[in-house]
Amino acid sequence: MRRPKARLVAATFFLACLFPTLAASLHLPAFTAYSLPNADSPRISERRGVTGWTDPTQSINWYGRIETPGDLSIKLVLSLPTKSQSRLRLTVADHAKELTASSQSASEKITLDFGHFPIASAGYQQFKLESLNPSGQVAGDLDFLILEGTATERAHFNLKERRNAASVHLSYKPPTKAALAAFYCETTAVEEPVNTFYMACGWHRGYFGMQINSPTERRIIFSVWDSGAEAVDRTKVSTDNRVKLLGKGDGVFSGDFGNEGTGGHSHLKYPWKTGETQRFLVTAQPTNTTFTIYSGHYFHPDSRRWMLISSWKAPNEGGWLRRPHSFSENFGGNSGHLPRKALYSNQWIRTDSGDWQEITEASFSHDATGKSDRLDRWMGIEKNTFFLSHGGFLEGSTPFGQLFQRPAGSKPPSDLNSLK
């Protein structure tokens, strides 16, 4: 009985996103909001919105860009336990209003009208909802905010359930058409939110970089894809199509991965530091016309020596490195509101004849999320190096495909030639 209503709500979200000037109102689903400061509490899901909100130190936050300064009328749709109340505060553009919601039954949908908020200038706005209730009291299960008024014209919000910032990429332009036997890149993290992967050395068969998994765990990751077309389950990949582990460094874990293609995964748990440059080198050694050995080398900051993360024998290859690139990824949606930024510097390739050549040109690209859902994504030149940045709901964006050129250095690092 409720399915037609659900379809109507979904259609309203879709039309409000594509044609905000025609919509009578903008509906911001609760599942597009972020919880602060603890991203995992309360629960936020596409199916149920915001639920389990009992901690008054946590706030619920929506973000979006207002293109047309003017007036916003804001309402909140929520539900509460039977015969209960909740005191809530909404703050937008430095204006705050407090209201009390009351419920007679748990199935009742309550519309709380916060009234009008003036938006003085165009730009991203934060819609912050706070609980003024005692700890342990349910603040409300949230469905959506409703925005009305002149300031909704051409307003831009991500109305999809995917709350990740867009993934962003550097596609390098090698200075030669010769075969690439090695690819070197240095990466310096500027921001450090969890669920971030700053990938330094990517190529057509794998990726190599540094990841922030939690407030207490960081990793150096090197992975190589299998052959074949299986995208999810590695148990479905035949032995002939699997990459094979040939060796790994001390303390390195190795195993399988799936759900993004399949392959061999390895990582070193190591607390690399934000603001300190990390060094990465990936090499290719064709063994015949069928196989290539790919190896990932990491310069360990403590020992001040290069270490092998792992080496993998990849089938259906027999060639060299192709499509050198770097990227930055936000792999967890609950932190998609936080800014991410890293510097990518001192890129060099070694040809199959042993010559080192510097890469000074790269172009910008992003994933599907960056096309229209999240426009806070950038590439540029800073401190004579490339940078990638995404997230944070900050102003500006970089056009897809834009080419950048950094200043050339003098010579490649002297300690790379012994690494194979």
Digit-coded pLDDT (tens) for 270-280 = 999 999 999 99
Among left, alpha and beta (phi > 0; psi -120 to 50; other), residue 383 is left
pLDDT at 308 over 70: yes
pLDDT at 363 over 50: yes
Rg (CA), the chain: 25
Digit-coded pLDDT (tens) for 131-160 = 999 999 999 999 999 999 999 999 999 999
* CATH 3.40.50.620 given to domain 3-152: no
Q: Looking at residue 417, what is its pLDDT? A: 86
**Separation CA 113–CA 146 (nearest Å):** 9
Among left, alpha and beta (phi > 0; psi -120 to 50; other), residue 419 is beta
Digit-coded pLDDT (tens) for 223-279 = 999 999 999 999 999 999 999 999 999 999 999 999 989 999 999 999 999 999 999
**Separation CA 209–CA 279 (nearest Å):** 9
The model scores a pTM over 0.85: yes
Q: Looking at residue 24, what is its pLDDT? A: 58
* CATH 3.30.930.10 given to domain 168-405: no
Domain ranges of the chain: 3-152, 168-405
Digit-coded pLDDT (tens) for 95-136 = 999 999 999 999 999 999 999 999 999 999 999 999 999 999
The length of the chain is 420
Digit-coded pLDDT (tens) for 15-66 = 444 433 444 599 999 999 999 999 999 999 999 999 999 999 999 999 999 9
What are the C-alpha distances in Å from 358 to residues 125, 349, 355? 42, 6, 10
Between 300 and 12, the more confident residue is: 300
Cβ burial of 107 (10 Å; 0-12, 13-18, 19+) is: exposed
**Separation CA 186–CA 188 (nearest Å):** 7
Q: Looking at residue 17, what is its pLDDT? A: 44
Does the fold of domain 168-405 match that of domain 3-152?
A: yes
Of 367, 392, 344, 377, residue with least CA distance to 260: 367
